[in-house]
Amino acid sequence: MQDFKMWIGGQWVDAHSGKTFATTNPSTGEEIGLVPWADAADVDKAVKAARAAFPVWSKKTQAERSKILVKIAEAIRANAAELAKMEGLEHGTPYKDAFGVAMGAADKFEYSAGIAPTLMGEHIPVKDGTLSYLQREPAGVIAFIIPWNLPTIMTAVKLAPAIAVGNTCVLKPPSINSMIGLKFAEIFSKVDMPAGVINIITGPGGSVGSAMALHPDVDMIGFTGSSETGKRILADAGKTCKKCVMELGGNNPVIIMDDADLDASLKVLGWRQFNNSGQHCSGPGRYYVHEKVYDAFINKFIAYAKTVVVGNPADEKVTMGPVVSREHQNKVEAYIKKGIEEGARLVFGADKPEALKKGFFVMPAILADVTHNMTVAREEIFGPVAVILKYSDKDDIVALANDSPYGLCAHIWTRNIERGMQLVNDLHVGSVFINCQMLTNEQPWGTSVKESGIGKEGSRHGMAEFTDLKLVCINYNV
């Protein structure tokens, strides 16, 4: 078992209390590392370090900050293999996928280094003798709370744009993926960056996350996670009117029209359903399949599910590892059981091999004959479970798709692009994907629709979230 320390103010430190907790290998259920159990005293120390670093970091030129971000990207690439192995060990991601994610994290820093210089102010023409303009300034000290479903890429998604524009940060990795967060700290420690620009502390979200949200010297909160947790953080942050950017829950509708290319759709949707064991906020939540292609779609989905190889992510043949924890395993399997109890038909769901019973594995599952009001159609399962509903031309498919507390994204599959485009304006979501799903560095992600979040991440739009916009007016005709 490996022991870890936190990274605060450019130094490796234990928790103030001296307490630790263990992280677990989800493939075996075995404890693999001991990490510090931080509390409010550690949060205060980290925030003070970030506040002390802010004048130094924010006053650097954009070119100076961008050069450091490029060095971070290079360091991540140099450590990508080790990061990938750690994500496989602590999160259960197959190595090939994990390596790609690590390289993607490096790309986030490199992209932010390049795009930050374009995030400048703008001139506002007013009356003669007066100059009026807007300038962007860093928000200040930002506290980040990272989700457990995508710990490597989300660390980069949060940190890269924030520090690129001059903010300093305190970051709490997910408790069950703390080793990954502290590996990033090791990478950052080897880059010539002022002490305190990035601080990484570990501990329970309920106490550490709340202490971060309540701290009077934190200017902004960045959070990805469940809508329920997001609401609690918003309540804490509201006590000092902190700015918040939040990507929360989703139960994303997929509309399979009667003319859809089913094979093409499942190459995308099947992969999204089972990749990362279905632990994607952007993944398919509920499939509305037209009655004309309903049976064919289910049969093709079953055929796809049979190709998924479940097992230890260290095995090169494995394409899907475990879910992240025993608690989440029990939750996902309870949803499958609930679906069957409410009348859904389990058309695919293999028995779990004896070799996988020690780990936190959930076998791929497909529930058919689901109705709109069943629990599995209403709630976010967040696992490798496809939920399939039948619709006809008599149904108001837009009303069904919009009938959810969430509004993250929607998927449409049709050969008739005109038909698909007719739905775009009526779907109350932040993103619509027609015959595809993609998310590049240049595209913003997130939403301010219903309970799915506040603000955007990624792209120039997401970077702007980490700035304050200041108006300056000058009368020079005096």
In a domain, 445, yes or no: no
pLDDT tens digits along 409-445? 999 999 999 999 999 999 999 999 999 999 999 999 9
409 is catalytic: no
Pair 75, 163 in one domain: yes
CATH number at residue 287: 3.40.309.10
Contacts of 18 (CB under 8 A, 6+ apart): none
Pair 192, 221 in one domain: yes
In a domain, 477, yes or no: no
CATH number at residue 60: 3.40.605.10
Pair 298, 430 in one domain: yes
pLDDT tens digits along 108-129? 999 999 999 999 889 999 999 9
Q: What is the DSSP letter of 320?
A: B
Pair 212, 105 in one domain: yes
Pair 154, 279 in one domain: no
Q: Which of 247, 379, 380, 457 is catalytic?
A: 247
Q: How far apart are CA 417 and CA 446, in angstroms?
A: 24
The whole-number average pLDDT for the span 376-402 is 98
Is it the case that residue 321 has pLDDT exceeding 90? yes
Is it the case that residue 368 has pLDDT exceeding 90? yes
How many alpha carbons fall within 13 Å on the CB side of residue 449?
22
In a domain, 341, yes or no: yes
Pair 303, 164 in one domain: no
* Residue % of the chain over a pLDDT of 90: 97
In a domain, 21, yes or no: yes
pLDDT of res. 351: 87
Q: How far apart are CA 309 and CA 276, in angstroms?
A: 12
pLDDT of res. 47: 98
247 is catalytic: yes
**Is the separation of the CB atoms in 332 and 286 below 8 Å?**
no
Q: How far apart are CA 223 and CA 226, in angstroms?
A: 9
End-to-end CA distance of the chain: 71
Pair 230, 86 in one domain: yes
Pair 53, 147 in one domain: yes
The whole-number average pLDDT for the span 178-186 is 97
In a domain, 359, yes or no: yes
Written as one string, the DSSP assignment of 161-179 is: HHHHTT-EEEEE--GGGHH
Is it the case that residue 152 has pLDDT exceeding 90? yes
Helix 178-189 to helix 80-90 angle (10° resolution) is 160
pLDDT grade, residue 404 (50/70/90)? very high
* Range(s) of the domain holding residue 78: 2-249+452-472
pLDDT of res. 308: 97
Pair 120, 241 in one domain: yes
Pair 160, 123 in one domain: yes
Tokens 């798709």 — which residue?
Answer: 401
Pair 393, 339 in one domain: yes
- Closest of 88, 26, 27 to residue 355, by C-alpha: 27
In a domain, 234, yes or no: yes
What is the Cα Rg of the chain in Å? 23
* Residue % of the chain over a pLDDT of 70: 100
Q: Which of 281, 380, 451, 465 is catalytic?
A: 281
Is it the case that residue 1 has pLDDT exceeding 90? no
Q: How far apart are CA 379 and CA 252, in angstroms?
A: 10
Query: How many structural domains is the chain composed of?
Result: 2
Look at the pTM and tell me if it is higher than 0.75.
yes
pLDDT grade, residue 156 (50/70/90)? very high
Is it the case that residue 13 has pLDDT exceeding 90? yes
In a domain, 447, yes or no: no
Pair 225, 319 in one domain: no
Q: In what order do the strands lie in the sheet with 30-36?
A: 2-3, 30-36, 20-25
In a domain, 446, yes or no: no
